[in-house]
Amino acid sequence: MECPMCKGNRSCPECDGIGEVVCDACGGKGGDCEHCKGLGHRVCRPCDGSGACPRCKGEGKIAPSVTS
């Protein structure tokens, strides 16, 4: 079954597979931002920086759920 989170493309939808996201606190400007240590970006939390979809672990598919 196709992964509903990444729609089968295997990349994290939060960071588009990059593994990093723009810092929300400074808007990517960096400088003396305490949240990103001046880098302007931070590690993507859902994928822990791997870039792979956290739901299917980069496989693009998940096992069908069994409901009774």
Q: What residue segments make up the domains of the chain, in order of their start?
A: 1-68
Tens-digit pLDDT profile for residues 6-16: 999 999 999 99
pTM of the model: 0.76
Instruction: Say which residue the tokens 């929300």 belong to.
Output: 24
In whole angstroms, how far apart are CA 6 and each of 26, 34, 45, 67? 27, 31, 16, 22
| Interval 12-48: pLDDT, tens | 999 999 999 999 999 999 999 999 999 999 999 999 9
- Write the DSSP assignment of the chain as a string of letters: -B-TTTTTS-B-TTTTTSSEEE-TTTTT--TT-TTTTTSSEEE-TTTTTS-B-TTTTTSSB-PPPP--
**Cα–chain center distance at 58:** 11
